[in-house]
Amino acid sequence: MFNTNTKKNILSLAQQHGFALCAFTQPQVDALNQAALDRWVDARMYGDMDYMGEEVRTHRRKNPATMLDDIQTVISLGMPYSPPNHENARPQQGIIASYARGDDYHELMKKKLKALARDLDVLLGQHGQRVYVDTAPVLEHALAAKGGLAWQGKHSLSINRKYGSWFFLAELFTTANIEPDSEATLHCGTCTDCIPACPTGAIVSPYIVDARLCISYLTIEFKGFIPENLRKPMGNRIFGCDDCQTICPWNGKVEIPEVDFLKPREDTFLPELAKLLALDDEGFRQMFRKSAIKRSKRAGLLRNVCIAMGNSGDTDFVPQLLDVLNDDEPLIRGHAVWALKQLANNDDKVRQHIQVLKDNEQNTDVLAEIASFERII
């Protein structure tokens, strides 16, 4: 079994590749986490993320050893990113969650994980390895906690004393037998601050997040018409949400990463909503090349922008919202109708435009938004 000295060498290699946090554990998930995952899946809290509900994948999450023949060790890794600084946002600007402000972390971290795996082949001799970040059926928090890298907070995210929760997780599964680290202890204590801080009540009980209510899910993963009761609480959050983390006392005094491999881009800092709503397909592609934001596609992002405009109280947005009633995407037309309902439902010109849209509209979801607009006048 590889022990302390080898572990120090691995830690140093991990740090060179940007993984400031590194912990070792055995490839097992305990009964509490297994049962909690089953309950979450049975309650369909994954919403439309079908990959989270598949039986085969749930089995793999509960049994990490099924991911690699002769696996001995899971190396959990954490890459810190810059905490958010969007507290002074104006209602005319959109808030993009901090994790998404730089290059897409999946691509960058995968490259770095592969480079680390090559170094480990040199250090330990050629051996079996698999690398994962985010998308594979791996219960990342549970493994990180088992190796002591972080503990799981009541908002369900992993927290570390040095970096708070502002870091990404990744794993390197290996056939090398490395001495495991001890499990993390919990440090939320009696605090429950994140639970009422969630604008949509998505933390349904300590440690459990119902994705269907979470703004991160709604603005990024969910591709449909956002349930009307959740639109107002979204405020001007247009991609992801940081609220349960910004309130957390463990994020009060955190270390800023020495090198931020996922350096936030200037144009993702509180972008003007008007500028975003003007993006066509090409403009969207150019602005969000290599960025995690392309995941929502133009239709999803502009849907979120329409909601933020509707919540802004600023009637200067009305002409631009009238323009996008002609957009090819039903998602954008429908949410523009909702925004106009918030801002100018008594305006004759707006009513005329909505009537014209109604006369030509084929999409049933957009027609439902128009019916809702008409109910209020």
Residue whose CB is less far from ligand B12, 19 or 167 = 167
152 binds, among ligand B12, ligand SF4, none (CB under 5 to 8 A by kind): ligand B12
Q: In sequence order, what are the beta bridge partners of 77? A: 22, 170
Question: Which whole-number Å values give the CA distances from 331 to 231, 236, 279, 303, 305, in the listed order?
Answer: 14, 17, 15, 6, 11
Query: CA–CA separation, 167 vs 19, rounded Å?
Result: 9
Residue whose CB is less far from ligand SF4, 96 or 287 = 96
Residue whose CB is less far from ligand B12, 221 or 347 = 221
Q: Is 132 exposed, middle or buried (0-12, 13-18, 19+ CB in 10 A)?
A: buried
Residue whose CB is less far from ligand B12, 104 or 242 = 242
Q: Is 19 exposed, middle or buried (0-12, 13-18, 19+ CB in 10 A)?
A: buried
CB 116, min distance to ligand SF4, A:
29
Q: Which residue has tokens 């037998």?
A: 177
Query: CA–CA separation, 349 vs 326, rounded Å?
Result: 15
CB 7, min distance to ligand B12, A:
22
State the CB neighbour count (10 A cutoff) for residue 361. Answer: 19
Residues 6+ apart with CB under 8 A from 194: 153, 154, 155, 203, 244, 245, 247, 248
Q: Binding residues for ligand B12, per CB under 6 A?
A: 33, 36-37, 40, 49, 52, 97, 99, 133-134, 138-142, 152, 155-158, 165, 167-169, 186, 207-209, 211, 214, 216-217, 221, 240-242, 244
Report which of 331, 377, 315, 325 is spatially closest to residue 356, judged by C-alpha positions: 325
Selected catalytic residue, list 48, 103, 134, 181: 134
134 binds, among ligand B12, ligand SF4, none (CB under 5 to 8 A by kind): ligand B12
Contact at 8 Å (CB) between 128 and 70? yes
193 binds, among ligand B12, ligand SF4, none (CB under 5 to 8 A by kind): ligand SF4
Residue whose CB is less far from ligand SF4, 84 or 199 = 199
Q: Residues 133-145, buried b or exposed e (16+ Cβ, 10 A)?
A: beebbbbbbbbbb
Q: Binding residues for ligand SF4, per CB under 6 A?
A: 153-155, 188, 191-194, 198-200, 202-203, 209, 214-216, 241, 243-244, 247-250
Residue whose CB is less far from ligand B12, 96 or 318 = 96
Residues 6+ apart with CB under 8 A from 331: 223, 224, 225, 299, 300, 302, 303
**Amino acid present at 69:** D
Residue nearest to ligand SF4 (CB): 153
Residue nearest to ligand B12 (CB): 240
> Beta 151-152 vs 237-239: how paired, if at all?
unpaired
188 binds, among ligand SF4, ligand B12, none (CB under 5 to 8 A by kind): ligand SF4
Residue whose CB is less far from ligand SF4, 94 or 330 = 94
99 binds, among ligand B12, ligand SF4, none (CB under 5 to 8 A by kind): ligand B12
CB 178, min distance to ligand B12, A:
21
CB 202, min distance to ligand SF4, A:
4
Instruction: Give me 359's structure tokens.
Output: 């006369």
Instruction: Give me 25's structure tokens.
Output: 């554990």
CB 283, min distance to ligand B12, A:
24
Contact at 8 Å (CB) between 363 and 333? yes
348 carries an active-site annotation:
no
CB 71, min distance to ligand SF4, A:
31
338 binds, among ligand SF4, ligand B12, none (CB under 5 to 8 A by kind): none
Contact at 8 Å (CB) between 181 and 26? no
191 binds, among ligand SF4, ligand B12, none (CB under 5 to 8 A by kind): ligand SF4
CB 240, min distance to ligand SF4, A:
7
Q: What residues act catalytically?
A: 134
